[in-house]
Amino acid sequence: MAIIKFTLNHKQVIVNGDPNRRLLDVIRNDFNLKGLKEGCGEGECGACAVLINHQIVNSCLYVLANAEGKDIITIEGFAETKRFAVIKSAFETAGAVQCGFCTPGMIIATESLLNANPHPSEAEIKIGLSGNLCRCTGYNMIVEAVQIAMKAGEGLW
């Protein structure tokens, strides 16, 4: 047992329990935040993505013990920002959402990319999204959505 403290969506939280739990399960079950999904459970699909210290991370591969002191933002926390509003609108415009299972992860990936590189090339966008699988769209619409967000949100990143 261990006591792990971190910031979740800008609130200081404490988890008392097994430090070998997956961050994915802690966020979904202890905090009832179900935006992140378990897809593959082994770091290949990106459906469980969260931002840790503002970088995309797979929460299925992240052990609770390593969360101590980190700043963690899920899609629910990110949804309250101006940046999210721009990305959401861009995904709608480009038709980048179909079944929606990958969408929270795709949006987290978009934020992580634009935060580090506000003007990515198409190749850089593809690298930025390379850890996120989508079985519906064929990816072109998602790449286009990131390009739309980048232009529409000029100055936000």
Closest-CA residue to 107 (of 126, 124, 127, 132)? 132
The sheet that has 2-8: what strands, in order across it?
11-17, 2-8, 71-73, 49-52, 55-58
Residues 64-123 that bind another protein (CB under 8 A): 65-66, 68-69, 109, 112-113
E strand map for 53-134: 55-58, 71-73
Both structure tokens of 79 = 């949804």
Cα 96 from Cα 147, distance rounded (Å): 12
Give whichever of 69 and 100 is closer to another protein, judged by the CB atom: 69
| Binding residue (CB under 8 A) for another protein from 7, 31, 33, 61 | 61
Give whichever of 95 and 105 is closer to another protein, judged by the CB atom: 105
Single out the segment in contact with another protein by CB under 8 A; choices: 47-55, 78-86, 138-146, 147-155: 47-55
Interface with another protein (CB under 8 A): 2, 18-22, 25, 29, 38, 41-44, 46, 49, 52, 55-58, 60-63, 65-66, 68-69, 109, 112-113, 127-128, 130-132
